[in-house]
């Protein structure tokens, strides 16, 4: 018994000490919850509300970039002395730009005050979540990142179900569930760090000088990473955003695409973000080691993709109808249409975040421009024939552009190995 306890302790210690293992465990748990929760949320909300919710999330992604200027990523360029004040300074910037955005939305859109308020609150919740993800990456706190992702998945499902049984679900209640899942996960995992930074900032005398210093050091992030992320978020939500302006595409079709995306792309994106975090961390220390680890994961993901594709091909439509209901008949076609996107995401995207590590934000920006133009043209051309065809063409073009980014980033890492 004592030997078993010793082996168990060693195993737990090995998992906690390994960024790959702890991140993989966190991703596995968070992804498992997401796989269960997304279909359930789609069923209880219905195609119409689910389609509207995803349209607002696409807008939120664009709004988030404009209001945050992706300053959370500038944590990598800050000196140690500035890190203890960085979050409150970033919050001041984000809140200021968020209030300006709220005034513009109320003036030029037909949304009411409550919807705009929920949209801005959701934006700030995502910013706080993303900020501490990057903060933990820089400081090697991968255990906290895993915990945050698990808590977010748990709170999203539980809050949706609670509100559904209490009031029913509409767009505003779905947005409330979304922002609660982010806020609660941040407060549970990062309260001590938030309190520490805010207290230090409160007692800091030269606040204006400090804010200017932090913004100056974030110059490259704001100038290049912000527009690059804006284009990236546009590319991710492009189908939903553009579909809102095309008369031949219905909200129901958007809902089918959104559910297919949530079922297989969103869980995969959690894996990719986690792998990207680890690769960024190792690229600082040893580009050669980062390449080795990336290639090993690439082989594993290739095998998993083959098995998943076979399973998807033989999946009967009756299974989808059994779990989702007759109103979701035809979902399998959308799952197959986004599969090329899944290939690009799992095999080639994890390494494309190293632009930030080696101060190549300008190159990343140019790549995002190239990708966004191609994706927009391909989707609009496909949409003239059918929405489903447009989704498939979009996925194929995404796969192609991601391969190009992969080749560039791999070359950068290889060149860093010889320095």
Q: What is the pLDDT of residues 49-82, one digit of tens each?
A: 888 888 888 888 888 888 888 888 777 666 665 5
Asked if residue 176 and residue 89 are part of one domain, the reply reads yes
Query: Which tops the pLDDT comparison, 306 or 7?
Result: 306
- Averaged pLDDT for residues 191-211: 79
Q: How confident is residue 15, by pLDDT bands cut at 50, 70 and 90?
A: very low
Q: Give buried/exposed letters for 58-86 (b at 16+ CB in 10 A, else e).
A: bbbbbbbbbbbbbbbbbbbbbeeebebbb
Computed over every residue of the chain, the mean pLDDT equals 82
Q: Specify burial of residue 261 (Cβ count, 10 A radius: 0-12, 13-18, 19+).
A: buried
Confidence at residue 24, expressed as pLDDT on a 0 to 100 scale: 61
Asked if residue 336 and residue 211 are part of one domain, the reply reads no
Q: Is 225 inside a domain boundary?
A: no
Q: Is 35 inside a domain boundary?
A: no
Domain, as residue range, for 257: 237-419
Decide which of 217, 251, 275 is a domain's last residue. Answer: 217
Confidence at residue 7, expressed as pLDDT on a 0 to 100 scale: 44
Decide which of 164, 187, 217 is a domain's last residue. Answer: 217
pLDDT > 70 fraction of the chain, expressed in percent and rounded: 86
Asked if residue 185 and residue 133 are part of one domain, the reply reads yes
Asked if residue 289 and residue 178 are part of one domain, the reply reads no
Asked if residue 410 and residue 291 are part of one domain, the reply reads yes
Q: Is 30 inside a domain boundary?
A: no
Residues 6+ apart with CB under 8 A from 311: none
Residues 86-106: pLDDT tens digits?
888 888 888 999 999 999 989
Asked if residue 244 and residue 212 are part of one domain, the reply reads no
> Which of 52-66, 207-221, 251-265, 370-384 is predicted most confidently?
370-384
Residues 152-177: pLDDT tens digits?
989 999 999 999 888 888 888 999 99
pTM exceeding 0.75: no
Query: Which tops the pLDDT comparison, 400 or 215?
Result: 400
User: Does 195 have pLDDT greater than 50?
Assistant: yes
Asked if residue 323 and residue 415 are part of one domain, the reply reads yes
Residues 132-145: pLDDT tens digits?
988 887 777 778 88
Q: Is 7 inside a domain boundary?
A: no
Asked if residue 353 and residue 206 are part of one domain, the reply reads no
User: Does 12 have pLDDT greater than 80?
Assistant: no
Decide which of 183, 217, 251 is a domain's last residue. Answer: 217
Q: Is 268 inside a domain boundary?
A: yes
Give dist(CA 351, CA 412) in Å, integer. 10
**What is the token pair recorded at 133?**
């993800």
Asked if residue 246 and residue 203 are part of one domain, the reply reads no
Compute how many other C-beta atoms are within 10 angstroms of the C-beta atom of residue 310: 10
Asked if residue 85 and residue 182 are part of one domain, the reply reads yes
Asked if residue 196 and residue 241 are part of one domain, the reply reads no
Q: How many domains does the chain have?
A: 2
Query: Which tops the pLDDT comparison, 344 or 203?
Result: 344
Asked if residue 279 and residue 158 are part of one domain, the reply reads no
Q: Is 4 inside a domain boundary?
A: no
Q: Is 96 inside a domain boundary?
A: yes
Q: Is 94 inside a domain boundary?
A: yes
Residue in the block written with tokens 């910013």: 127
Distances (CA, A) of 92 to 178, 203, 208: 22, 16, 11
**What is the token pair recorded at 279?**
């690769």
Residue in the block written with tokens 């998807």: 312
């Amino acid at each position: 018994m004592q030997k078993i306890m010793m082996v168990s302790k060693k195993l737990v210690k090995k998992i906690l000490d390994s960024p790959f293992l702890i991140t993989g465990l966190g991703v596995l748990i968070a992804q498992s919850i997401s796989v269960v929760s997304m279909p359930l949320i789609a069923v209880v909300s219905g195609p119409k509300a689910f389609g509207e919710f995803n349209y607002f999330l696409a807008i939120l992604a664009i709004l988030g970039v404009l209001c945050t200027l992706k300053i959370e990523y500038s944590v990598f360029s800050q000196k140690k002395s500035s890190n203890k004040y960085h979050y409150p300074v970033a919050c001041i910037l984000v809140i200021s730009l968020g209030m300006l955005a709220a005034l513009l939305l109320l003036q030029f859109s037909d949304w009411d005050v409550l919807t705009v308020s929920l949209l801005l609150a959701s934006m700030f919740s995502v910013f706080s979540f993303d900020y501490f993800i990057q903060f933990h990456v820089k400081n090697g706190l991968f255990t906290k990142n895993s915990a945050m992702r698990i808590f977010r998945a748990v709170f999203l499902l539980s809050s949706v179900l609670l509100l559904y049984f209490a009031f029913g679900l509409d767009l505003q209640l779905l947005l409330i569930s979304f922002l609660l899942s982010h806020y609660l996960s941040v407060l549970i995992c990062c309260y001590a760090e938030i309190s520490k930074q805010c207290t230090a900032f409160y007692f800091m005398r030269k606040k204006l000088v400090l804010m200017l210093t932090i913004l100056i050091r974030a110059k490259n992030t704001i100038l290049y990473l912000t527009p690059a992320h804006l284009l990236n978020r546009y590319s991710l939500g492009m189908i939903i955003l553009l579909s809102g302006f095309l008369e031949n595409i219905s909200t129901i079709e958007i809902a089918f695409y959104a559910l297919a995306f949530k079922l297989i792309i969103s869980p995969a994106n959690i894996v990719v973000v986690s792998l990207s975090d680890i690769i960024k961390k190792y690229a600082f220390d040893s580009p050669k080691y980062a390449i080795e680890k990336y290639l090993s994961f690439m082989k594993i993901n290739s095998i998993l993709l083959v098995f998943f594709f076979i399973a998807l091909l033989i999946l009967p439509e009756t299974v989808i109808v059994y779990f989702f209901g007759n109103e979701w008949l035809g979902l399998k076609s959308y799952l197959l249409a986004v599969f090329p996107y899944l290939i690009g995401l799992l095999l080639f995207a994890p390494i494309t975040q190293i632009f930030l590590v080696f101060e190549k934000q300008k190159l990343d920006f140019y790549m995002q421009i190239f990708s966004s133009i191609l994706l927009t043209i391909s989707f609009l051309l496909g949409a003239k024939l059918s929405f489903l065809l447009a989704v498939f063409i979009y996925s194929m073009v995404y796969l192609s552009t991601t391969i190009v980014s992969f080749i560039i980033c791999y070359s950068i890492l290889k060149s860093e190995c010889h320095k």
